[in-house]
Homo-oligomer: A and B are copies of this chain.
Amino acid sequence: MNQTITALRALERALYAYHYAQNVIDYDSETVAPAGSAAGRAEAMEVLSKAEFDLLVNPDTAALLAAARMAAETEQEAAEVRELQRRYDEIHRIPAEEYAAFTRLVQQSIPVWVQAKRSSDFSLFAPYLEQIVEARRSQARYFDPNRDPYEVWLDRYERGLTIAACDEFFATLRGTIVPLLAEIGRRGAPVRTDFLDQDWPLEGQRAVSARIMEIWGLDPDHCALGESEHPFTTEFWRGDVRITTHYMPRDVFSNLYSVAHEAGHALYELNIDPALDYTAVTGGSTMGLHESQSRLFENYVGRSRAFVSYLDPILREIFPGKLDGVSTEELYRAVNRAEPSLIRTEADELTYALHIMVRYELEKALLQGTLAVKDLPAAWNAKYREYLGIEVPDDAHGVLQDIHWAMGDMGYFPSYALGSAYGAQAMADLSKTLDFDTLFAAGNLAPLRDALRSRLWQYGCLKEPQDLVRSLCGGNFDPHYYTDYLTKKYTELYKL
């Protein structure tokens, strides 16, 4: 390896260390940190974030990247230069103080959001959200002063995504979901749900988490489960990935499918080629690709009829008596029931995209300046009434339910719906050679893991996102695989 690439690797390793430190600190803050610990964390994070920024954004790095572009010999080296250059280009226009202040703002806003959600008091959180929106608008101008600020952020999370494409994507989904939901409401066969809301002891729920992680194939030596307000996945490095869940005493399936979802994210991170460790091209690619894996494992595996038949005796063993008199088909229908609900993370597959659509429209309006933060709760509630036909009783079950905006993520939500669509297409393509019904009914996910490792996971950010989407899907992206899947599944499930 030549000297330039050696220097580049040293920079990547240093950047890795700051990424590692900040992820550990974030994870700690979301899982075990005491409530009054935020002030000192914000102080530290501001310094670390500034140091990371200074490592990347300086004339030496600019010169190193220019030299490395010429010196790169392998595909990986070229990709490392490409990814670092992209990060450099993206942030070198943000003044360092502004970047550090934003990190600090986010550190402060998260515990406030937790408090606001607990007390269902949006007014606590509003001043922080106002600053976050303003900061994101201001930052978007640094990236591209002539572009719609919301589109700037869409494009950062899902490279190449435009508002026009997003509008069209959601219109396609709406064209399928709204009539299907109406049809279900009119003449769908009723779904039995009485057995869902009962006392599911915590000890059993923990056993369920462990079983899902085991079936999913997560190595406990490299993946640990924590508890947090809102489930999430974070990777410290390829060999240390953390997922979290949130236990609800009267809802075992919330935890089960949260673990199933986060474990999908974790599998992706854990299966990246070790040759990419500590470089700029390790880690999963876009948010949409990441969500494609989490939602694939949550829904296309976890909620499949075949897998539910495998899960059924496991649940009966862990919770003796709790499912007496409930058939496997009733269990399958219950965990797949489609009904308008308040909470995104507990939404069914069919209405899920409507939850995303609400957030998409609202965050777009916030960043475009057509909606004020103070009017957000009313706007939220109006959209839930319009799209889902339900009344939001309080902000804890409404606008305060998700952590994303408190973390500064605006423009991320559409990726969830895109991820579902990528996943549906990948499963359709893979089902040509893999008999998922037989495999899932036996709890055997190894062939699926092998296929996904081969098509997507191994690459990290070595290849461009659009190439990874094609590799995963087995062809150009087409959202109709997703709408076809939903139509087929729900027509059959509700006997329409």
Contact = CB atoms under 8 A, between A and B. Distances in A.
Contacts of A221: 34-37
A384 interface: no
B36 A239 contact: yes
A32 B224 CA distance: 7
Contact of A20 (B16, B40, B237): B40
A17 B43 contact: yes
A359 interface: no
B239 A43 contact: no
Contacts of A39: 237, 239
A41 B224 contact: no
Nearest to A241: B34
B224 A33 contact: yes
A32 B220 CA distance: 11
Contacts of A224: 32-34
Interface residues of A, number: 42
Contacts of A24: 21, 24-25, 28
Most buried by B among A28, A219, A278: A28
A48 B52 CA distance: 11
Given A25-B21, A28-B27, A224-B33, A41 B278 contact: no
A34 B223 contact: yes
A13 interface: yes
Contact of A44 (B20, B34, B40): B20
A47 interface: yes
A25 B236 CA distance: 10
A43 B222 contact: no
A132 B32 CA distance: 32
A13 B239 contact: no
B236 A47 contact: no
Contacts of A240: 33-34, 36-37, 40-41
A82 interface: no
A360 to B, nearest CB: 35
Interface in A1-57: 13-14, 16-18, 20-21, 24-25, 27-28, 31-37, 39-41, 43-48, 51
Contacts of A36: 219, 221-222, 239-240
A226 interface: yes
A294 to B, nearest CB: 20
Nearest to A223: B34
A277 interface: yes
A265 interface: no
A201 to B, nearest CB: 13
A238 interface: yes
Contacts of A278: 40, 43
20 contacts: A13-B47, A16-B43, A17-B43, A17-B46, A17-B51, A20-B43, A24-B25, A34-B222, A34-B223, A36-B239, A36-B240, A37-B221, A37-B236, A37-B237, A39-B237, A40-B237, A40-B238, A41-B236, A41-B237, A41-B240
Interface of A: 13-14, 16-18, 20-21, 24-25, 27-28, 31-37, 39-41, 43-48, 51, 219-224, 226, 236-240, 277-278
7 A-B pairs with the lowest CB-CB distances in the bound complex, closest first: A40-B237, A17-B47, A36-B221, A37-B240, A20-B44, A21-B21, A17-B44
